[in-house]
Chains A and B, each alone.
Chain A
Amino acid sequence: AQKITQTQPGMFVQEKEAVTLDCTYDTSDPSYGLFWYKQPSSGEMIFLIYQGSYDQQNATEGRYSLNFQKARKSANLVISASQLGDSAMYFCAMREGRERNTPLVFGKGTRLSVIA
């Protein structure tokens, strides 16, 4: 079974509008972390935001916020006031457990295109 599911292969958003990128996850471990990364065409992985499974509040980082719904096992990324530079691939990822040698597992990604 897939650990991370991103159901939107591609999304379009008008510049200055907000957009939500969906992510659902599957784990039986009570301790886990959820990540969002941006990957522009250059290929580098840019960390955007993190949510721990025990965090009470939804994470926010500037224009990025994470809509964490634990019971639904969803961790949607919300980008407010979209900019042309936000056009990129976006990956949701999860790390299960507390061990330091546990890797991140990635979803298939969503390609976001911001339109002027």
Chain B
Amino acid sequence: GAVVSQHPSWVICKSGTSVKIECRSLDFQATTMFWYRQFPKQSLMLMATSNEGSKATYEQGVEKDKFLINHASLTLSTLTVTSAHPEDSSFYICSARESGRLGYEQYFGPGTRLTVT
């Protein structure tokens, strides 16, 4: 099956700094990628839908100025957590569907565990 990678797999940063998380589709092109956040023992909550070459669509309650999403190419989307605070500590997972291909598949990255101290 198709592969989605995320980098880094885990990161620890100090409060007030920014962290960038990369999501890459390794063997397919993805016009659309999705960013989810998962707090411990909770479900995946959709943060935003990232579209190549256009602005991301954010879910209600997600601060777009705090969580900057850039989908600069058909294989790369980035999520930057700006001025991170301890409450931003979470597991961030990206997901993608293959462009121009029929079918239901949606592929997930392995996730990035962010800890803000």
Tell me the A residues contacting B by CB distance below 8 Å: 33, 35, 37, 42-45, 47, 50, 52, 91, 95, 100-101, 103-109
Inter-chain CA distance A91–B38, complex, in Å, is 12
Name B51's contact: one of A37, A44, A91, A101 (CB within 8 Å).
A101
Contact with A along B23-64 (1 / 0, CB 8 A): 000000001101000100011111001010000000000000
Interface range, B side? 20 to 34
A95 to B45, CA, bound (A): 14
Q: For A35, A37, A91, A100, which residue has the most chain B Cβ atoms within 10 angstroms?
A: A100
Q: Does B95 interact with chain A (Cβ within 8 Å)?
A: yes
* Residues in B whose Cβ lies below 8 Å from that of A107: 43
B99 touches A91 (CB 8 A): no
Q: Is B106's beta carbon under 8 Å from chain A?
A: yes
Bound complex: CA of A105 vs CA of B59, how far in Å? 12
Task: Return A46 CB to nearest CB of chain B, in Å.
Answer: 8
How far is it, in angstroms, between the C-alpha of A103 and the C-alpha of B32 when the chains are bound? 9
The proximity string for B residues 98-109 relative to A, scoring 1 for CB distances below 8 Å and 0 otherwise, is 010000111010
Q: Which residues of B contact A100 (CB under 8 A)?
A: 31-32, 97, 99
Set of chain A residues within 8 Å of B34, measured between Cβ atoms: 103-104
**Residues of chain A lying within 8 A (CB to CB) of residue B95:** 45, 103-104
